[in-house]
Structure 1
Amino acid sequence: MQPFTTFTGQAIPFGAENIDTDVIIPARFLKTISRTGLGRHAFTVIRANPDNVFDSHAGAPILIAGDNFGCGSSREHAPWALADMGIKVVIAPSFADIFSGNAFKNAMVLVVLPQDAIDRLMDLAMEGQPITIDLENQIVTTPYQDRFAFPMDPFRKHCLMNGLDEIGLTIAMDADIALHEARLVAQRPWIAGAATAGAAG
């Protein structure tokens, strides 16, 4: 995972509410375990309209969505598809819990803001104005001096800012794990003997 501290980019002014994971990436495109290439199938139904915001704002790394984004089935392909589109941040009034967990595990930053802030950011995104997400200070800012504070779980914030996934968290505890194993061998040498015998067999 790449550490995330402060990020500035243009945004896709989507704003629709109750967008489920089947809208994000339809089930017929889930016959793969690869994360690559899913972006071209993201929001297929919506992108069938030639005037859709995803194609008119192609390449924008921030998505502004509506309430309850990511509801529906628990497919991890949803954040995979968003990431393959180049989306790094999604801003919405709320997110479905399972989608939120999947997005976090894939290093996607989810920002929760009230609807009035969403409306303001939608207007600026339509104008092509950039938006800045400052994760350290938990603030979204704009070129017009807007400042919107957002909540963030401390553990998730720590992981995102330090680029730590589950493997990275385990590796970071390497010294503590080694100390525990050494103490365990000293306190219960028969366990070490059994492990050695099992390895030898």
Structure 2
Amino acid sequence: MDRLSRISGRAIPFGAKNIDTDIIIPSKWLKTITREGLGEGAFETIRTEPGNVFDDPAYADAPILIAGDNFGCGSSREHAAWAILDLGIRAVIAPSYSDIFSGNAVKNGILPVVLPQEAVDRLLEIARDGHPIDVDLETQTVTTEFQDRFTFEIDPFRKHCLLNGLDEVALTLERQAAIGHFESQRASAQGWLAHGTNS
């Protein structure tokens, strides 16, 4: 997982509320065994609408998505986070998220920023006008060139994981020496566990 510290650039001014994971990535895309290419199916039903923000060239390669309340509700599919990441989005800003989506986002290197609705509305306005937004995880702030400054909270453990690019495998490997020491001591004290018993 890539480290994440600061994300700057244009933001996709989506803003819709109660977007569930089936809208983020329809179930027909869940047969894949790889994370790559899911961006093609991301927000598929919305992208059939003419003039949708996801296919607007003005927001091509935007690394930030501004969403509405209760983003990522519905099923627990991790493919939703994979699809958003495959679109190139590294931060989502919304008033609230489904707990499962929020956890999946962090595990895949996406920062879920929670801000009050008034702040989200202001950022939507700025994004629609084509101005960049800056999200700084270190300082836990979202800023604009118009002197807007919004602070957000994040669990310290999640912040640590994102800043250091640590997914669950990498977190385990951080403890490799301690795990090795434990296994060595266990083998000495209870060698029969490793070799089985003769009957």
**TM-score using structure 1 length:** 0.92
Q: CA RMSD in A?
A: 1.3
Deviation at 1:185, TM superposition (A): 4.4
Q: How does 1:1-201 map to 2 (within 5 A)?
A: 1-56=1-56, 57-185=59-187, 188=189, 191-195=190-194, 197-198=195-196
Deviation at 1:180, TM superposition (A): 2.5
Give ranges in structure 1 of 5+ residues lacking alignment. none
Aligned equivalents of 1:194, 1:75: Cα separation in 2: 37
Could you tell me whether the CA contact under 8 Å between 2:4 and 2:165 is conserved in 1?
yes
Q: Say which SS state the counterpart of residue 132 (structure 1) adopts.
A: strand
Q: What one-letter code is carried by the residue in structure 2 that aligns with 1:112? A: V
Q: What one-letter code is carried by the residue in structure 2 that aligns with 1:88? A: R
Q: Deviations over 1:11-52 (max 9, x none)?
A: 000000000011111112222121111111111111111211
Q: Say which SS state the counterpart of residue 140 (structure 1) adopts.
A: strand
Identity of aligned residues (%): 60
Aligned equivalents of 1:74, 1:166: Cα separation in 2: 17
Q: What one-letter code is carried by the residue in structure 1 that aligns with 2:77? A: R
Deviation at 1:101, TM superposition (A): 1.3
Give ranges in structure 2 of 5+ residues lacking alignment. none
Deviation at 1:193, TM superposition (A): 4.4
Aligned equivalents of 2:9, 2:34: Cα separation in 1: 27
Q: For this pair of structures, how many residues does the alignment match? A: 194
Aligned equivalents of 2:185, 2:29: Cα separation in 1: 50
Q: What one-letter code is carried by the residue in structure 1 that aligns with 2:79? A: H
Aligned equivalents of 1:185, 1:79: Cα separation in 2: 40
76-85 vs 27-36, which moves further = 27-36
Aligned equivalents of 1:14, 1:125: Cα separation in 2: 9
**TM-score using structure 2 length:** 0.93
